[in-house]
Structure 1
Amino acid sequence: MKDKLLHSLLFWVVVAIVLGFACSFFFPDWLARIFVTFNGLFSNFLGFFVPVLIFALIAPAIAGLGQGAGKWLGITAGLAYGSTIISGLIAWGTASALYPTLLDGKHLVTDVADPEAGGLEPYFTVDMPAPLAVMSALLLAFVVGLAMTGVKSPNLLNVLEELNAVVMKVVTTFVIPLLPIFIFGTFLNLGMNDNFGDTMEAMGVVLVLSIVMTLVIILLQYLAAGAIAGVNPFKALKNMAPAYFTALGTSSSAATIPVTYESALKNKVDEDVAGFVVPLCATIHLSGSMMKITLYALSIVYMASLDISSGQIAGFILLLGIMMIAAPGVPGGAIMAAVGLLQANLGFDESMVSLMIASYIVVDSFGTAANVTGDGAIALIMNKFAAGKIKGQSLNDAPSAVPAQ
């Protein structure tokens, strides 16, 4: 079901980008302003909904994770988080080194509310105040989730899991289907204010860079795993190739779990270790997604000349690594989880968020493939220390950071 939804969404996102650009040549301003108005309303709804999404996803995820298999779960989660954060830091360093050259002279103008700035003005706006701020939602989710790890609270956990299911229903039946219209409006506006060429040229460069860097992070992970576990990293990578290409085709970490598991066994990872690590990392290890999101976000920061400090970027990476552990099992889940941080930490407006979503979804599968291949590296490291110490762990018994949908 998720695969069909993903491929359908990917198709319509590409169609939205092409149509948005094509229609910008002949749409009259009065018609284009209808879509600009829709984008404003949809963006305001996301601002209202994202804090609820954050709480509904992260609170039960932390609660469920904390009630798992003791120290080995904690060590695996720490490795997954560390790998994800390192990926973000490498992306930051890469952007700092290359963007001044790659994006030299590129500018992003996304002010849709100021006609004098080249944008189109919406017909009307509707304020949709969020029930709480993004950081408040994140902190509340942490407090509640962590407290539940030390208190037996099955009733509250059931309530949170039901809230999670309700919120996911809104995502899959309302938010995701409207994303192509949102993206169409963004690219229509970019085309009509003569900013499309520079933007697409720059985002194309970043897209290629992000794919290359997902391969680089995989290589670094296996070099590290090979050194720690005492195995040939290139042979281990070859054994993980089926998982990489399966994820590339499905864009689903969950759907790739059986292949990732078998590939890990080819690397002589203990069956119990693989049965524990692979399903867990499928939901909490997102180094590929982190690489793509960080590179895209910093490209927009650079082109839009946003005044963002190093502390804000570091905070964005650290928080994103946590928020993505609860990325919903839907297309583009990681980027949807990141929307709140993009707005709150980096000051992105609706057009910037739309560009991020479009860019991420177009190459979603490369991030997923990097995520699951990296899971094999973590399995090798865990096998070095936990082989023979994790008993009777099957794929069905393994912990998951995300409640069942």
Structure 2
Amino acid sequence: MPRTGDGHKPSVGGRAGATVTRRSALIGLAAVGAIAAVDVGGFLFAGGRLTPRTVTPSRFVDRFEQVFGRHEGFRRNHAKGVSATGWFTATGAGSAVSTASVFHAGSRHPVTGRFSLSGGLPDAADAADTVRGLGLVFRLPGGEQWRTAMIDSPVFPDRTPDGFRDRLLASKKVPDTGKPDPAVMALFLARHPETAAAMDIIRRQPRTSGFGDSTFHGLNAFRCTDRSGATVPVRWKLVPEQPVRHPGAEEESGRDYLFDALVRDVTRGSLRWRMFLTIGEPGDPTDDATRPWPAGRKSLDVGTLTVDAIDTEAPGNARDVNFDPLVLPNGIAPSDDPLLSARSAVYAESFNRRSGEPKSPSRVNVSEVPDER
């Protein structure tokens, strides 16, 4: 089983001396809406407890059910999705920093994947500003696996599990308005300038037309070890080979339009992404997913992910996979990012619940995707 710098502290909105106003709080709420107060996986557990407030994985998954309702058999977050299959072909460049077999030159490994949208509603309508996810399982020689859960945002809004919990509380809807209280959010952002800065980065990233032209980021830092025993911090991302297009209003029609487009794209031909490992340098944060590394960092093109089939979620495919980010091959290890153990624990709780529940048909039935008009 694999083992599980002094940086500038940004001010609210990323500007030194910025003041939290009602307008900035509302902008923060809009960013929370795009990322969702309960998006990306429930990063809220480390070592069994958190501070005297004690939020366990079970209680946190309960929170998902309170927000979205209980939908038996479905994931508590990223509930809407489709399964995918394909393979990963390595360039060999990754072997410069890691002994992991996934990076051996010319090696080809089967991959099971899952494209998804954030949120706990399995029948939610697709929307351009909803966070898109891609989970992958690389099946490696000797029974090893590498699992990773990525999203199309370059950073995560919270640095610690406690910060994530505080943002959940700040995002709680007020009964009288049905919306979060701007004053509460303003106070949260004042106390968590790292979140305000991260939201600004996320807001400035242009949206693409769909899954096929999205870049997916691993967010957390990990550590790679080479044959000599030298270890370097890394982050990874998948960059599409498909041309990037920005969405138009005419494309955003139909309840499942993002998934329908994905199915049609793969029917016409395989989709491909290049995987890049970015190598951190001394002083680059490995415990803070809100802060991007400097743009000039060395990056290795380690291989190509090819997706050649999309399937309705069903027994035996990605529906039944827990994309635990701590399932790692030899040669890749966790960093000191506190969100990693939190993600792992909450994913496991969600998986255990849905595994014992009756299953309902997936919202996206690949065989019923309408022809493009």
Q: What is the TM-score with the length of structure 1 in the denominator?
A: 0.24
Structure with bigger gyration radius: 1
Higher percent of residues as strand: 2
TM-score if structure 2 supplies the norm length? 0.25
- Higher relative CO (CA 8 A, sep ≥ 6), structure 1 or 2? 1
More helix by share: 1
